[in-house]
Amino acid sequence: MADLDLAIRGGTVVTAADVTRCDVGIKDGRIALLAESVTDAPKSLDASGLLVMPGGIDSHVHLAQHAFGARMADGFETGSRSAVAGGTTTVIPFAVQPRGASLRESVVNYHKEADGKSHVDYGFHLIVTDPTASVLGQELPSLVGDGYTSFKVFMTYDDMVLNDRQLLEVFECARRERALVMVHCEGYDAIKFMTERLEAAGKTAPYYHSVSRPQIVEREAAHRAISHAELLDVPIMIVHVSGREAMEQIRWAQQRGMRVYGETCTQYISLTADDLKGLNMDESGGKYVCSPPPRDHSSWEAIWEGITQGVFQTFSSDHCPFFYEGSEGKLNPKARTSFRWVPNGIPGVEVRLPILFSEGVVKGRITLERFVALTSTNHAKMYGLYPKKGSIAVGADADLVLWDPNRTETIRQSIMHHGADYTPWEGYAVTGWPVQTILRGALVYDDGKVMNAPGEGRFLRRKLSPFAMPTGIVRHGAAK
């Protein structure tokens, strides 16, 4: 083939299915050729000694989503810059419907934040906080048709929580429209009860965030969401699973033949509630406040059990960055009065691949193929981007990461590309690091340096997910 634009030469190509020594030929931003030797491109990159993998897809990030009265540390420019530096070429952040507002209008507003600013390709999930008749009857169906084919619902947070009736109505709409629902499973009332009791006892430091929402509240909500999904025969994705309790609920549902999927995240294999410790606001526990909170070492083992048994399809970052310092950061004046007001979320889009590679592949827990499935291919399949994204195959977008499996690095704020003023993984040592990232055939990250301009990332209208198809097995008679 004489008219290639670029060849990646000498690398080992890894997909979710295979590990192969071959070269990659790229033409017009897409993969045009996989062959033992590609010599006739005008430009080439030397990948000898490197792995060539599909660019990461992070299907759970929050960008420009200001919350808890705090300003998010990343908009699309810095958040996507951090993504590309971590070997990720596609992100799916959220467009949130504020209560009382139109969902369509919210989507228009998030596009204003994103369009022309992103270094990587992006889609949007919707967050439904106010499922009125017009949202369920008109807005959601039309938005699904426009490529927003998944939405998230919350079982906690004052300004997001849906009650059981509302959850059922959103699930019913998702089933009708063939959209995939992501569920944040933590029980609102139990958390509120615990929070009030802790505050009354003067236990207000960030550490008590983890005490206020133990695994049992996650397990209860996961079971409730699964029951609602079973009643209606609707597939659901339970996101950011933190430990054994919720993992076992998902496994139980899967063993019953239900289409219940699971996502876990970097923090649940690498941080613990001890990181939140310190009974003083200034002892840096606030840096680790996220929900569900990180648990303990035995929870890490439970998460690995879920990963290796296939309970989890996706491994995401839940990148939700807030500043630590300053009047709009995690320790803003209101947050200093109680953990209840500390903005929930941590930055992590850049370290997702290195930490999973180091803990998973290097330590022999998962294969290279499974690493690619968990970080890229399954995200594309679950969220309607496959086979354009998520694989190395002729015709797919040439989104690639060239990965040095032997390079050791220590994660430090000074080498991060995000907008936050800290990383929760300061001093964390990893083996395996992204060297170059390629987006639709263009070199966009080269060993520490982001090479493309903001705005070169494109919006992705997503297809319906085949994983959102109901089973057709109606056990309880309520599905239509």
15 binds ligand URP (CB under 6 A): no
317 binds ligand URP (CB under 6 A): no
The three-state secondary structure class of 254 is: helix
184 binds Zn ion (CB under 5 A): yes
C-alpha separations of 287 from 77, 95, 206, 416 in Å: 22, 25, 9, 16
To ligand URP, the closest distance from the beta carbon of 216 in angstroms equals 18
318 binds Zn ion (CB under 5 A): yes
267 binds ligand URP (CB under 6 A): no
Query: Angle 164-177/215-232 helices, nearest 10 degrees?
Result: 50
To ligand URP, the closest distance from the beta carbon of 291 in angstroms equals 4
| For ligand URP, the closer CB: 104 or 319 | 319
**DSSP code of residue 466:** G
CB 76 within 8 A of CB 108: no
Number of neighbouring beta carbons within 10 Å of residue 421: 18
Alpha helix stretches (DSSP H) within 151-286: 164-177, 188-200, 207-212, 215-232, 244-255, 267-270
320 binds ligand URP (CB under 6 A): yes
CB 86 within 8 A of CB 351: yes
Nearest one of 412, 409, 282 to 357, comparing CA atoms: 409
To ligand URP, the closest distance from the beta carbon of 292 in angstroms equals 8
Q: Which of these segments, 63-71, 167-175, 199-207, 315-323, binds Zn ion (CB under 5 A)?
A: 315-323
106 binds ligand URP (CB under 6 A): no
| For ligand URP, the closer CB: 12 or 242 | 242
Binding ligand URP (rule: CB under 6 A), the pick from 12, 32, 55, 62 is 62
| For ligand URP, the closer CB: 51 or 290 | 290
List the single partner that 290 binds among ligand URP, Zn ion, none, CB under 5 to 8 Å by kind.
Answer: ligand URP
Q: Could you give the CA distance from residue 165 to residue 152 in angstroms, rounded to a whole number?
A: 16
CB 198 within 8 A of CB 279: no
Task: Return left, alpha or beta for 414; rule: phi > 0 is left, psi -120 to 50 is alpha, else beta.
Answer: alpha
Binding ligand URP (rule: CB under 6 A), the pick from 86, 87, 321, 345 is 345
318 binds ligand URP (CB under 6 A): yes
| For ligand URP, the closer CB: 229 or 342 | 342
List the single partner that 374 binds among ligand URP, Zn ion, none, CB under 5 to 8 Å by kind.
Answer: none
For 234-305, list the strands marked E by DSSP: 236-241, 260-265
To ligand URP, the closest distance from the beta carbon of 315 in angstroms equals 15
Query: How many chain residues are in contact with ligand URP, going by CB under 6 A?
Result: 9
145-204 residues in contact with ligand URP (CB under 6 A) are: 184
Nearest one of 269, 177, 262, 197 to 226, comparing CA atoms: 262
Q: Interface residues with ligand URP (CB under 6 A)?
A: 62, 184, 240, 290-291, 318, 320, 344-345
